[in-house]
Chains A and B, each alone.
Chain A
Amino acid sequence: GENVEQHPSTLSVQEGDSAVIKCTYSDSASNYFPWYKQELGKRPQLIIDIRSNVGEKKDQRIAVTLNKTAKHFSLHITETQPEDSAVYFCAADNDYKLSFGAGTTVTVRA
């Protein structure tokens, strides 16, 4: 099955700086790579996703890049704000299900 590794597990950034989270996956058949944000005590919510026919996708301050050859993808958050503090999960699809990374706790310092 799919194995998704996510790094770092925790990330502390100064407000206004950028944050980068990296994930690797094992199954070359995976084609869909979503990122979910989970605020404390809340449900995970999709913030951006990318499919295998695209190398990069951007939505305002967040962007995702995908390298299918190397089997890794990354989330970039620019101009971080306090409301970006949350746990971020990457995921990859495999056999009709999503396999999630272990999560990255992002703390934005004011």
Chain B
Amino acid sequence: DIQMTQSPASLSASLGETVTIECLASEDIYSNLAWYQQKPGKSPQLLIYYANSLNDGVPSRFSGSGSGTQYSLKINSLQSEDVSIYFCQQNYDSPYTFGAGTKLELK
């Protein structure tokens, strides 16, 4: 199975800051990576697919990058509504595995 390691596990940032979350795959997943946002008490929502493609309706302050085994999610100009848990997920090979999540809080 492909292991997905996210870092950091949690982070605290101020409004307007730029934050970056990392995701490391245990083998090359050829950009088959998605990012999801889960707000407190809600279902996850797709933010990014294929490493860097923004899903419909997602604000442009979110961006994804990376290749091979290393990927990142960047949030520019942090807003209060971005307080969430963020998960990465590989859809290159079954079983389709998720990272453990990064909890983003406001400082």
Do these two chains interact? no
Chain B residues within 8 Å of A, Cβ to Cβ: none
Chain A residues within 8 Å of B, Cβ to Cβ: none
